[in-house]
């Protein structure tokens, strides 16, 4: 990202259009950068993840051993409770000063593949998939009904991709979000969900977006 901006800056010296593009990007970059970032150190990662509730990047350090232990050949979900130290006091809709949770989905490469922010124990059903689907549209939310151990992969009962997908079917993600977090194409995810449903491991709840 920084290199990209420097590149545009160098080019902008010769070209007005690029100059505007550069300024727009810089503006966007400085004000709010919803793109999650990770710096990987020897024993830990430092993540900046966009919290929808804070409307800020939240800084979280996670020990690599914690991730390795939680991955189990899959995705690790890091739970981080926090409050926004600088909520907008004039905005009556800003509740970010109250404690809330951000979930980071971290893959085996220590990259963040998904982020969720919510109050309480989990996002409400009406929040899942909101923003992706138009009002009145259908949101499909896969939920694990039977936990499986990594052993089922070793025994050839599940593929590694199916196992990974199950891990993100935590009831907090729509089918599309599951595809993004597990970094698989949506048609592949749909295919796997059919198989997993037949095996009685997952159910897909349908909800109309409000």
How near is the Cβ of 67 to Zn ion at its closest, in Å? 21
Q: What is the Cα–Cα distance from 93 to 109, expressed in whole angstroms?
A: 37
Residues 51-110 that bind Zn ion (CB under 5 A): 51, 53-54
Residues 3-62 that bind Zn ion (CB under 5 A): 51, 53-54
Torsion angle in degrees (nearest 10) through CA of 181, 164, 186, 135:
-50
Q: What is the Cα–Cα distance from 104 to 113, expressed in whole angstroms?
A: 8
Burial class of residue 168, CB neighbours in 10 A (0-12, 13-18, 19+): buried
How near is the Cβ of 169 to Zn ion at its closest, in Å? 24
Tokens of 21: 């593009």
Residue 51 or 67: the one with the smaller Cβ distance to Zn ion is 51
User: Are 38 and 110 within 8 A, CB to CB?
Assistant: yes
How near is the Cβ of 27 to Zn ion at its closest, in Å? 23
Q: What is the Cα–Cα distance from 87 to 96, expressed in whole angstroms?
A: 6
How many residues sit close enough to Zn ion to count as binding (CB under 5 A)?
Answer: 3
Residue 82 or 167: the one with the smaller Cβ distance to Zn ion is 82
Residue with tokens 């979280």: 60
Residue 81 or 206: the one with the smaller Cβ distance to Zn ion is 81
How near is the Cβ of 101 to Zn ion at its closest, in Å? 8
Residue 22 or 50: the one with the smaller Cβ distance to Zn ion is 50
Type and span of the H or E element at 104: strand 100-106
Residue 85 or 156: the one with the smaller Cβ distance to Zn ion is 85
Residue 51 or 192: the one with the smaller Cβ distance to Zn ion is 51
Closest residue by Cα to residue 167 from 102, 77, 79: 77
User: Are 132 and 176 within 8 A, CB to CB?
Assistant: yes
How near is the Cβ of 54 to Zn ion at its closest, in Å? 3
Given the rule CB under 5 A, which residues bind Zn ion? 51, 53-54
């Amino acid at each position: 990202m920084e290199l990209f901006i420097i590149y545009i800056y160098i080019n902008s010296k010769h070209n007005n259009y690029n100059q505007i593009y550069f300024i727009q990007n810089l503006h966007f970059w400085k004000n709010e950068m919803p793109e999650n970032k990770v710096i990987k150190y020897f024993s830990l990662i430092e993540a900046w993840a966009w919290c929808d509730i804070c409307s800020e990047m939240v800084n979280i350090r996670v020990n690599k051993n914690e991730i390795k232990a939680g991955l189990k050949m899959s995705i690790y979900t890091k739970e981080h409770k926090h409050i926004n130290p600088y909520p907008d006091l004039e905005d009556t809709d800003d509740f970010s000063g109250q404690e809330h949770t951000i979930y980071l989905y971290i893959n085996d490469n220590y990259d963040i593949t998904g982020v969720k922010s919510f109050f309480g124990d989990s996002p409400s059903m009406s929040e899942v998939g909101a923003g992706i689907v138009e009002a009145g549209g259908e949101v499909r939310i896969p939920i694990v009904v039977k936990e499986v151990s990594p052993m089922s992969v070793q025994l050839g009962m599940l593929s590694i991709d199916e196992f990974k997908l199950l891990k993100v079917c935590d009831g907090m993600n729509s089918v599309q979000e599951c595809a993004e977090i597990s970094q698989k194409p949506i048609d592949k995810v749909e295919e796997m969900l059919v198989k997993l449903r037949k095996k009685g491991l997952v159910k897909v709840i349908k909800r109309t977006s409000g």
